[in-house]
Amino acid sequence: MKSYSIALIPGDGIGRDVTAAAWTVLETVAKNFGFALTGTEFPWSCKFYKDTGRMMPEGGIETLRGFDAILLGAVGWPAEVPDSVSLHGLLLPIRKAFVQYANIRPHRLLSGVTGPLRAENFDILCIRENTEGEYSGAGGRVHQGTLDEVAVETSIFTRAGVERILRFGFEQARSRRRKLASVTKSNAQKYSMVFWDEITRKLAAEYSDVEVTSYHVDALAARMIMAPESLDVVVASNLFGDILTDIGAAIQGGLGYAASANINPDRSAPSMFEPVHGSAPDIAHLGIANPIATIWSGAMMLDHLGEKAAAGRVTKAVEAATARGIGTIPGKDRTDAITHAVVAALI
């Protein structure tokens, strides 16, 4: 029997609730389709940081390298540990070390889910650059606490980094509606974003079968709300992609439906799958978190592992549940009820 080893990092807050739910669904579908998933849980989180001074132990990356994939819940516990620590101590190093340069985030309405817009027929695939740009972590502060204090944060854009994420976007567009929106703010940021636009134009000549439009991020943000059906594949930098995909989550009904995959396209290291949402400590462990984003992320994991039929069955089961109104109204259905409805629809 084929078997896949999965590193489970539930993290903080509702991360624990939603990964447990997704794992129940994934184990069931694996059994139905005749393959095995072996989960190994790691307690790396803000609690771990409080106990040890690190978000993950030294050697954590090397430990993860041996797995076929990583399923992560959420990190962050604002009152206890600054968000910059949880992000730069766990999520960002994993993405970078495993060259998970493509963060794929699908935005569409699931059956039965009513988004806030009149438009219903949108299907946007946001591709966020995931290893450099504004989240490179390069910078510093001097004269701290004085009136002369200066903080500098440098965005790093490399030709290799920009070219590979755009190329990934063009390939995705080829498998979809052949439209690509490349997002910058090149009127204001005259080095990095002009550089991004130049590389977009170079690749556009190569991918002449794909219709390419360059947008400024503010205009694209408005378009996602006013005319989301006009968009197909959207490629953006790390920060812009992070922000735009919260808009994407909003128009698809909320963060509870927003899935994501941090992909290493070369398969030289494991990829990581996680919901877009954070740890939502205010509703942690109350049994009311929506697990759909994580279940959908789990389906993306199966797809990446090559279990495409099982992946399709999971997304169909999610939609069978939501089409019946389960998990479509915030707070109405408990995490368990949504999970059981999806499991029941897997058969």
Chain contacts with ligand GGG (rule: CB under 6 A): 74-76, 87, 91, 242, 274-275, 277-279
Q: What is the CA radius of gyration of the chain?
A: 20
Q: Of 228 and 275, which has the nearer Cβ to ligand GGG?
A: 275
49 included as an active-site residue = no
Q: Of 56 and 212, which has the nearer Cβ to ligand GGG?
A: 56
185 included as an active-site residue = yes
Is the Cβ–Cβ distance between 134 and 239 less than 8 Å? yes
Structure tokens, 102? 């493509």
Extended strands (E) in 75-227: 102-108, 123-129, 133-142, 150-156, 179-184, 211-216
Catalytic option among 4, 49, 101, 135: 135
Q: Of 220 and 289, which has the nearer Cβ to ligand GGG?
A: 289
**Identity of the residue numbered 260:** S
- The residue with its CB nearest to ligand GGG is 74
Catalytic option among 2, 191, 202, 218: 218
Overall size of the chain counted in residues: 347
Q: Of 105 and 313, which has the nearer Cβ to ligand GGG?
A: 105
Extended strands (E) in 211-337: 211-216, 233-236, 259-263, 271-275
17 included as an active-site residue = no
Q: Rounded CA gap, 147 and 61, in Å? A: 40
Helix, strand, or coil here: 47?
Answer: helix
Q: Of 129 and 242, which has the nearer Cβ to ligand GGG?
A: 242
Is the Cβ–Cβ distance between 212 and 180 less than 8 Å? yes
Catalytic option among 12, 17, 232, 242: 242
At closest approach, how far in Å is the CB of 75 from ligand GGG? Answer: 4
At closest approach, how far in Å is the CB of 261 from ligand GGG? Answer: 12
At closest approach, how far in Å is the CB of 275 from ligand GGG? Answer: 5
266 included as an active-site residue = no
At closest approach, how far in Å is the CB of 267 from ligand GGG? Answer: 22
At closest approach, how far in Å is the CB of 295 from ligand GGG? Answer: 14
Extended strands (E) in the chain: 2-11, 35-41, 69-74, 102-108, 123-129, 133-142, 150-156, 179-184, 211-216, 233-236, 259-263, 271-275
Q: Report, as residue numbers or ranges, the catalytic residues.
A: 135, 185, 218, 242, 246
